[in-house]
Structure 1
């Protein structure tokens, strides 16, 4: 267990925030598989300030999700503070996180996400402004730097702590790397050495062994799993169990993967109309069957689904095919 401000986190396995992925349905699944903390998709400060209905709906939290963090992004101090105050007053989330790591151009054009790593003074102003105006703990997610010539995570982390943040999550890649190459865990270790608030390490955690090595090599307080858990929430459970008892849980069977894929579709339909839920499942379903025999053909079929009945039919036929192969 570790604490972020006054919020107790049951275990040090955290699910990374991902745009278009970590909605309420996904977060509930990940919590059921044992994650200590989950994050929302990133929420636009200006959209909140303008009262955008769809954005405000992203602040909704299910009672079974706690603890959960709402992640906010933006590039201006005033609107970031205003939006954070809105979250503080209108969401029952436990933590407010500031995105200073997103590498995509759309976010960078707003001088937000990892673009802020080029302006350490502005980072300090944003974090300090939010901390002073909300009651919930504030955390920040950063990268190692903007590019190879601007690796400044250690300097930035000190400023973030000085500004009053309760924890820092760091992805060991620069903005320029996007998700390519290898994450630099040594910069994560360096950040951990210079701050006294909890540090969450992120980048290249794809297995139980990776998680253990991250703890050993960096001494972080928690690890953050990202894309490796897509279609594979069992990874979260495996890491949690290994850290707790040393036991290595088996890999999921194809029957379990297909059943969980269908359960995911049902969860999405609890929060979205069927057509929207199935549009989202076009992305999720292929992840669940990744690596299974003849999955390429099935992935193509899944990319066209519009109804849950279609999803169910495709996966039922695929399971019957796999049954004959085993």
Structure 2
């Protein structure tokens, strides 16, 4: 897939997920084969105020090339300023989030709320596209079932200067419930001349290749399907390249990935914060493991790296 001057070596992309896709997880997915990593969603207004927490979200690893940042905001001038800043930091690609359904984002007129104001959304993209060479937009099918405007919205984003779009096949009202509307993604693809990336309900390599085939989209953004399963990228790339499925990771490989993830988190954030943040990740890595209920209970009670390492040892003994 090619987006302006950026050539991706495969169509599978790790989605930005708040509180999940930090550097340790992104670099692990990169090693597993994701064509692109994107920072967690960053507030353009937070950048304006110089928020340390906001700026920390923009830290990356040298292995993350090309580098993409995702920003959100509702003021064209502030968003454009944020885009210029991340461009000057060396980011190759800037995505504007217009799909986040979180109430705290929507109530400020940001995220998926912008789907109700196409003119403002287009102004934001137009300003952003003047500030950086590659600006893309992520949005949803629509606000609710009575306001499904994703195709018209996508056309407006293309006209405003978006280099590509990512469409999640659910409305904001659906949040993450029900099924993602893949045929709708296909309608967006058919209506545009720029690359279209599909998003929603990709939980396996087979799902990823099926989305490409069924929608005709250029790329697939994988979100929840990657949580606790960075292997989904190597499996998807293998299936895409060869047409044959790859053997799932062994229990040893899963435990090894979790251990690597934990150690990278500790190196970046220190033991106390790393262990706390690793709890959710380790529960995802444990999916399908024997005696998972007891293991998850112990994960939530763990406060040291040693305790988490012991849990990982027990996985292999289960």
CA RMSD of aligned residues (A): 1.1
TM-fit CA distance, 1:262:
0.8
Is 1:256 paired with 2:256? no
For residues 267 and 52 of structure 1, the distance between their equivalents in structure 2, rounded to whole angstroms, comes to 24
> How far off is 1:270 after superposition?
2.3
Contact 2:289 2:315 (8 Å CA) reproduced:
no
Residue in structure 2 matched with residue 23 of structure 1 by the alignment: 22
Residue aligned with 2:301, SS? coil
1:160 aligns with 2:157: yes
In the other structure, the counterpart of 1:97 is 95
Deviation digits for residues 85-135 of structure 1 (CA, Å, limit 9, x no counterpart): 11111x22220000001011011111100010000001110000111122x
**Rounded Cα–Cα distance in structure 1 between residues aligned with 2:64 and 2:3:** 16
TM-score (norm 2): 0.97
1:277 is aligned, of 274, 278, 283, to: 274
**Residues 171 and 203 in structure 1, CA contact (< 8 A), matched pair in contact too:** yes
- Say whether the 8 Å CA contact 2:197–2:217 is kept in structure 1: yes
Give the 3-state SS of the residue equivalent to 2:138 in structure 1. Answer: strand
Unpaired runs of 5+ residues, structure 1, are none
**C-alpha distance in structure 2 between counterparts of 1:168 and 1:187, whole Å:** 14
Contact 1:61–1:92 at 8 Å: present in 2 too? no
Cα deviation for residue 184 of structure 1 reads 0.6
2:224 aligned with 1:222: no
List 4+ stretches of structure 1 deviating above 3 A: none
What SS does structure 2 have at the residue aligned with 1:282?
A: helix
Distance apart, 1:208 and its partner CA: 2.2
Is the contact between residue 169 and residue 199 of structure 1 (CA under 8 Å) also seen in structure 2?
yes
Q: SS of the residue aligned with 1:249?
A: coil
The CA deviation at 1:212 is 2.1
Report what 2:11 is aligned to. Answer: 12
Answer whether contact 1:265 1:277 (CA < 8 A) is retained: yes
**Inter-partner Cα distance in structure 2 for 1:302 and 1:308:** 11
Contact 1:97 1:139 in 2 (8 A): yes
Q: Which of the residues 162, 172, 175 maps onto 2:172?
A: 175
| Partner residue in 2 for 1:86 | 85
- After superposition, residues 107-146 of structure 1 pair within 5 angstroms as 107-134=105-132, 136-146=133-143
2:66 maps to 1:67: yes
Q: TM-score normalised to the size of structure 1? A: 0.95
Shift of 1:292: 1.1
Question: Aligned pair count?
Answer: 318
Q: Distance in 1 between matches of 2:6 and 2:39?
A: 17
Q: Runs of 5+ in structure 2 lacking a partner?
A: none
